[in-house]
Structure 1
């Protein structure tokens, strides 16, 4: 083949490698009204995604050393967060493995075997031995020419999945931190309620004693004594209920920080939280930082790239392959006469694959009236 034909063939392969069978990705579109009704008809403001912004130790705004210490323990010992982190590591490893398809693959081989062939083997020579050695040292290289964008779409899907997993990890971490803070506030609220009930029980005990004294002096009726006893018993019952609720909340906090409930305790204290200042526009701003929204969008992108991978399966795979090395019946391998090699392209086209058969009945598309999405190919 002349140099001009070789360059022409290479240019054609490069042009074909620009094909991409995945649909043009666009973020999901929603039909929204032109204005926000509760804001007096004010127009919508374009969102600026900020899920990558570092959130930092937001709980320190409450200025509670105990809460700060508990939040730090989530990062080190919470099993749910450990599972989410392991899934993120797995998705990153999968993305790295898929990205390797963009580069050539090189494998080394070595074998030392002793073999026996049949006396009646077809095409066997008269002077061939029954038992012979076959020692081989070699290497092979292959590279898939991504004509239809299959590998590139696999890489795009892997990266999008890894980004979605990172957002899931951030969502789990943020949810656990918020749940711990909420449980801690509830526990301190129960501490305050228990203190108030203790004062209430003391006051009711004094009231009962005074009522009994007045009853003995024929100043009040026996019904007043019964009423005072009922009030005291009700207050003592509430004390027991609050103690049970506090124990349950303490166990919940122990589970969040990865501690055994039997070995975890928080001493009751009188607590007045430091309330942080919350700007007026903060709730709407936080919507732009929600990691679960970002994860859902990345999952859509990964599924979009997966369409291109599935479509590419209808077309042949073209690869360049090279194999070389040395082979001998003994150990004199590294000699030029013992060398072997093979270079050439390979093409694979699936003709039949069982499974996944579906009858050709009419499909019902989600819209029920609109045709299926476009399957235009870009090359």
Structure 2
């Protein structure tokens, strides 16, 4: 079978009509106010303003084997990340759907009919017993058809532009979700390690308090000390034991959170106790303007803004006429025999144009709504940028202030430990009562726990800073779904 659908006139028409204009505003990224440097940067001695941001496996800077083992699993096993990946694939498919409107729709239609018909006879013939004459005929057709609505005003191209920007926003959302879940994993590991360090501290404290109780109990046997000293020492020991037991709750919850973040059931991940805290990483900060390229949430907001800008063009295009072209080419014959003979060849060409003259303000309303949505996206973009600057400043100020607090606490821990030792020696010498010893020991434990909490806060702020700097991501990693290189 040969269908003679002429492609040259259609190609010429396509070349002519595809050169039509694109109505609506072309996208330009709005300007935002960007400071030259971070306010807190000079006070943070670890900062390196001339260095690039953290790259690749940023978590290795914490020197924690568990982090190094589990962080790569987030990108492939975390369910939030998998959900955003599926959303991104859906957005890519929507670009393909929108692009298909640029091309004609080509179809083939075949039909066949078998029909029986009868020829009636006169009453005289019937009286002589002659019946009806029955005939059977076959008919059929085989046709190719083409229909096309040329994109004269750029509505389809604006839709493709809109969907492509939405796909990039989804890709940036995927990157942001991955980074957020990675930071959440780092946070959970830091908290788990702090729980382990707290357990070690309380185990040492319980051991020391047990020793103090033994000494006081021995002196009580000889009537050297009042019975209240024994009760005080025992109460102190029991409170420390209770606090040690309570730490098991926090540790278990952190371990369960870690398992879920890497896509495992809590019972499937066993994390052994560690006696080592993660290291405080060195984090090059860079200048504020780089956040516009390094933060995936900013890239998401910017691409959403571009998508809304393209939507204005789609709404404006509704003011212009819609043109449709159609063609049919094929064979039709009744009876069926000889269907593909030249004599049975048929063709047709057609075109139509429609224009809405009155719609009660529907189109103007759609344009106004699209422009308002764009302005909302601009405000969201600028707000996201401001929040990004705030996040980094908060992290830097936290790291700076906590570093000063840590230095002071180191001295406080040394002094408290020495004071507890002296108080116990004085108690054994009979110069102070046990209340003085208990107070000094409580101060020592409180200082040690505060120092440990500050160390945890510094690590958490470091992880937060890495996330707020984009974790080494860049908007240059985004793919344009309109090109063949898009994944």
Q: Same fold by TM (over 0.5)?
A: yes
Q: 1:205 to 1:145 in 2, by over 3 A?
A: same
User: Is residue 226 of structure 1 aligned with residue 228 of structure 2?
Assistant: no
CA distance in 2, matches of 1:57, 1:38: 28
Q: Deviations along 1:191-213, whole A, 9 cap, x unmatched?
A: 11111111111111222222122
1:139 to partner: Cα distance: 1.9
CA distance in 2, matches of 1:295, 1:73: 24
User: What secondary structure is seen at the aligned counterpart in 1 of 2:246?
Assistant: helix
Structure 2, unmatched stretches of 5+, are 1-8, 42-51, 118-133, 373-487
Q: 1:56 to 1:33 in 2, by over 3 A?
A: closer
Q: Which residue of 2 aligns with 1:201?
A: 206
Q: Where is the helix percentage greater, Structure 1 or Structure 2?
A: 2
Q: Which residue of 2 aligns with 1:126?
A: none
Mapped contact 1:17–1:148 kept (Cα < 8 A): no
Mapping for residues 1-379 of structure 1, pairs under 5 Å: 14=16, 17-30=19-32, 32=33, 38=39, 55-112=55-112, 135-279=140-284, 281=286, 285-286=290-291, 288-329=293-334, 330=336, 332-350=338-356
User: What secondary structure is seen at the aligned counterpart in 1 of 2:23?
Assistant: coil
Q: 1:288 to 1:33 in 2, by over 3 A?
A: closer
Mapped contact 2:88–2:171 kept (Cα < 8 A): yes
CA distance in 2, matches of 1:67, 1:313: 54
Q: 1:132 to 1:214 in 2, by over 3 A?
A: farther
Q: Which stretch shifts more, 205-214 or 325-334?
A: 325-334
Mapped contact 1:17–1:149 kept (Cα < 8 A): no
Q: Which stretch shifts more, 231-240 or 16-25?
A: 16-25
Mapped contact 1:16–1:148 kept (Cα < 8 A): no
Q: 1:300 to 1:83 in 2, by over 3 A?
A: same
User: What secondary structure is seen at the aligned counterpart in 1 of 2:140?
Assistant: strand
Let me know the Cα RMSD of the aligned residues. 3.6
Mapped contact 1:135–1:331 kept (Cα < 8 A): no
User: What secondary structure is seen at the aligned counterpart in 2 of 1:28?
Assistant: coil
1:107 to partner: Cα distance: 2.1
TM normalised by structure 2 equals 0.60
Q: 1:61 to 1:338 in 2, by over 3 A?
A: farther
CA distance in 2, matches of 1:228, 1:332: 112
Mapped contact 2:143–2:329 kept (Cα < 8 A): yes
Q: Deviations along 1:153-203, whole A, 9 cap, x unmatched?
A: 011111111111111111111111111111111111111111111111111
Q: Deviations along 1:6-64, whole A, 9 cap, x unmatched?
A: x9xx99x958953322124232344x499779599xxxxxxxxx9xx995222123333
Q: 1:54 to 1:155 in 2, by over 3 A?
A: farther
CA distance in 2, matches of 1:281, 1:300: 26
Q: Which has the higher contact order (CA 8 A, sep 6+)?
A: 1
Q: 1:16 to 1:256 in 2, by over 3 A?
A: closer
Mapped contact 1:23–1:307 kept (Cα < 8 A): yes
User: What secondary structure is seen at the aligned counterpart in 2 of 1:323?
Assistant: strand
1:353 to partner: Cα distance: 7.0
Mapped contact 2:88–2:167 kept (Cα < 8 A): yes
TM normalised by structure 1 equals 0.76
1:296 to partner: Cα distance: 0.7
CA distance in 2, matches of 1:134, 1:185: 80
CA distance in 2, matches of 1:151, 1:83: 29
CA distance in 2, matches of 1:167, 1:137: 49
Q: Which residue of 2 aligns with 1:371?
A: none
Q: Which stretch shifts more, 156-165 or 266-275?
A: 266-275
- Which of the two has higher C-alpha Rg? 2
CA distance in 1, matches of 2:320, 2:54: 44
Mapped contact 2:37–2:288 kept (Cα < 8 A): no
CA distance in 1, matches of 2:113, 2:341: 19
Mapped contact 2:331–2:346 kept (Cα < 8 A): yes
CA distance in 2, matches of 1:54, 1:157: 32
Paired residues in the alignment total 330
